[in-house]
Every structure is written in C-alpha cells, then in structure tokens.
Amino acid sequence: MNKTLLVFYSRTGFTRRVAEQIAKRMQCDTCELREQRSRAGPFGYVRSVFEALRGREPQLQDPGVDPSRYALVILGTPVWAGRMCSPMRAFLSRHRFGGADVAVFATCGGSGAEGVLSAVSLQAGKTPLAHLVLTDREIDTGSTGRKLDAFVQALRPRTGV
C-alpha cells in the first residue's frame, strides 16, 4: 500500500486537473469523491452553493478507502461561495485520520480559499503540513507548475518520494 492518499472532489474539473498533477508528482493513491446525485447544469450549481452556505452534507458513494491507514492524506476541494464543497465536508465528518498527517489544496474562481483551507484543517482535526491555492485562471493557463512543485516539495520529507 502507498503511504499517501489524495482525496478530492471536483464538479467542473478544475480540482480534478490539479489532483491529477499532484498524484503524478507524488505517485500516490487517489480517491475522487462521488455522490449519489448529479450536480450537472445550472440546478447542480445552485444546489452546490446552497449546500455550501448551509453546511449540508450530501450522500456520498462509498469511497472504499480508510484514510487512517495512510501516513499522509492530501485533501482537495473547490471553493463554493467562500466555503469548502459539501462532498468534502461529508467525507471529513465520516472519516478519521488517526496518525496520518494532512495537506490541503483548494481551487477557486477568485477569493475565499484561505478560509476554506482553515475550515478543512479544522474539520479534519489536523494542522496541515502544507497548503496550496490555485485559481481557475492559473489552472487554465497552465501556470501552476511552480506552486505545485513547492507544495509537493514540502511533502516529500514525509513521504520519501
């Protein structure tokens, strides 16, 4: 078993693209959170904002992983209305991390990511080893390399990769 697990949720693909780049650099196990209901289209967007603002937790499909069995868990979430996405909130409320260290990354259209990083860390009950914020624009233009490399480099002593 790998020592590092990357858990993420992506509605539009931005967070998935970052997760794939991190996983490639870290050579880690990945777990994309999936829901019972679709968030596609405008109604999915409205539902996402509503759940984020109200602190709701949707039903997730069984992720099939136990984060407490890993030495490091990287958590990735988009920012929805200045909050972490509701699927990540649901995952964090249902899983414990044991002795695992945590790192956090967030993707956003503009602002609000710093508060989301703090909220994820608080709900996970861990101080992150590293954190990363990338905007959708940075992801679209491919200007994420330096930030991704610094994030991964901060985690290397813990993973031995």
Condensed to tens digits (0 to 9), the pLDDT of residues 41-53 reads: 999 899 999 999 9
Using one digit for the tens of pLDDT, what is the confidence trace for 125-143?
A: 999 999 999 999 999 999 9
> Where does the pLDDT of residue 6 fall: very low under 50, low under 70, confident under 90, or very high at 90 and above?
very high
The C-alpha atoms of residue 130 and residue 102 are separated, in whole angstroms, by: 8
pLDDT at 81 over 90: yes
Q: What is the pLDDT of residue 110?
A: 84
Domains of the chain: 4-159 (3.40.50.360)
- 103-120: pLDDT as tens digits: 999 999 988 898 999 999
Provide the pLDDT for residue 1.
Answer: 58
Q: Which residues of 4-27 are buried (b: 16+ CB within 10 A; e: fewer)?
A: bbbbbbbbbebbbbbbebbbebbe
The predicted model gives 132-155 an average pLDDT of 95
Q: What is the pLDDT of residue 160?
A: 54
Please name which of 112, 120, 116 lies closest in space to residue 92, comparing C-alpha atoms: 120
Strand, coil or helix: 98: coil
